[in-house]
């Protein structure tokens, strides 16, 4: 029986960091300082289910770096969450915030549950108890959580309310990704996908690819994936395949992603969409296309399948979908990868906008937010390309080198305490 190798996402994050640190000749004292997380918390807490039974739930919060500002990063609810995954996600947040130049460090949280098997009231109790367990280490000037996998604006509302009850005052800025009515920002729901599409537009222009008529494949038809598909469709692209956790659909003539979203809402999956051919989540990655958008979980493109990827552009709407060994193969084959810490940084950028709006109690219009987001993404793309070309490396190492240099500069200026 073949034994499947378990890929450790934090080890992959460290590999990319070390390669970037080598490129910029980062001194050892700073390399050692920012290579590992500053702070990690594991909590185990009881939750009462609707049937009266009490279960023990494990949760994590990791702060990777606060050198450039408060920690920032989502909270995911998933049965497979583990500490190394959360460490990797926190590190990616550090580099992501630095790449787009917003004054945050990196953090991340996770709770080991299967949210699909829990009621709304059970999810609320999990969320509130988890928030109370980590309350001492979060705050609008310390560490600001946000939604992630299987969490949403309602989750953030519960977190904000719980923290506010503990604090004795309403603290809107403790989390981002909240509902509009309680301090959320216009444009936040679409921000990750919109930022990804802005970078695709820049990459397509650089490579001479016309988006009108370009073929697009989206693996992961959740919030980011479905919105990215719709935005690409609005630009005239042809969406030929999409997938969710249950499998994928292929329709080479192109499909309307809004119709697919309606079908998924009615049936619970994209499977069975009219006239489409069923394919697996593995097969969808290997379809010939102009643009591939991995928008699911990490480690889906490895050295085993990188040679079968036929996209011209890979835009990582998900965190860590391509492992370092696959990066080298894709680069050698001429596939242009827009790395996650750049491609999906639109979400944290608009989260920053939300945090600023909460702190000033002054809220902006959607048009202005999208304008500011485009400015940030376009400038960040150009900065990463300049470093990539200067050092003659692949785009991921170029993005990491850009980010690591910014964090290292902050550490040099701040010095060592005491």
Query: Any idea which residues carry the catalytic annotation?
Result: 108
Give φ, ψ of 64 to 5 degrees: -80, -50
d(CA 74, CA 176): 9
d(CA 54, CA 377): 46
Q: Are 9 and 298 in contact (CB under 8 A)?
A: yes
Identify any residues that bridge with 277 across adjacent strands, giving them in sequence order: 250
Structure tokens at 28: 């050892």
CA dihedral of residues 177, 180, 183, 185 (deg, nearest 10): 60
Give the sign of the dihedral formed by CA 189, CA 193, CA 196, CA 198. negative
């Amino acid at each position: 029986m073949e034994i499947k190798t378990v890929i450790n996402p934090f080890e992959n994050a460290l590999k990319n960091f070390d390669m970037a640190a080598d490129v910029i000749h980062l001194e050892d004292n700073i390399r050692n300082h920012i290579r590992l997380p500053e702070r990690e918390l594991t909590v185990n807490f009881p939750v009462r289910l609707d049937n009266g039974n009490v279960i023990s739930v494990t949760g994590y919060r990791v702060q990777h770096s606060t050198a450039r500002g408060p920690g920032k990063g989502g909270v995911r609810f998933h049965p497979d969450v583990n500490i190394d995954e959360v460490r990797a996600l926190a590190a990616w947040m550090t580099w992501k915030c630095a790449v787009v130049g917003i004054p945050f460090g990196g953090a991340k949280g996770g709770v080991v549950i299967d949210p699909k098997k829990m009621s709304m009231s059970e999810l609320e109790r999990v969320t509130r108890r988890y928030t109370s367990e980590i309350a001492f280490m979060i705050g609008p000037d310390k560490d600001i959580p946000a939604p992630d996998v299987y969490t949403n604006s309602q989750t953030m509302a519960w977190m904000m309310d719980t923290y506010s009850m503990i604090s004795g005052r309403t603290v809107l800025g403790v989390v981002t990704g909240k509902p509009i009515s309680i301090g959320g920002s216009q444009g936040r729901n679409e921000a990750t996908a919109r930022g990804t599409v802005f970078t695709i537009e820049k990459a397509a222009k650089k490579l001479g690819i016309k988006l009108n008529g370009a073929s697009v494949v989206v693996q992961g038809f959740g919030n980011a994936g479905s919105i990215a598909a719709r935005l690409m469709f609005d630009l005239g692209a042809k969406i030929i395949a999409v997938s969710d956790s249950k499998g994928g659909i292929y329709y080479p003539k192109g499909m309307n992603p809004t119709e697919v979203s309606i079908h998924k809402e009615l049936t619970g999956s994209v499977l069975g969409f009219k006239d489409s051919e069923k394919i697996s989540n593995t097969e969808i990655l290997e379809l010939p296309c102009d643009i591939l958008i991995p928008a699911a979980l990490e480690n889906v493109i490895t050295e085993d399948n990188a040679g079968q990827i036929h996209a011209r552009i890979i835009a990582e709407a998900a965190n860590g979908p391509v492992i370092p060994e696959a990066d080298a193969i894709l680069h050698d084959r001429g596939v242009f990868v827009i790395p996650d810490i750049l491609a999906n940084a639109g979400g944290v950028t608009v989260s920053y906008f939300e945090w600023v709006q909460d702190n000033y109690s002054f809220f902006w219009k959607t048009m202005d937010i999208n304008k500011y987001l485009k400015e940030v993404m376009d400038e960040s793309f150009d900065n990463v390309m300049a470093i990539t070309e200067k050092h003659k490396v692949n785009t991921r190492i170029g993005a990491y080198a850009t980010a690591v240099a910014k964090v290292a500069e902050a550490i040099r200026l701040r010095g060592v305490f005491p």
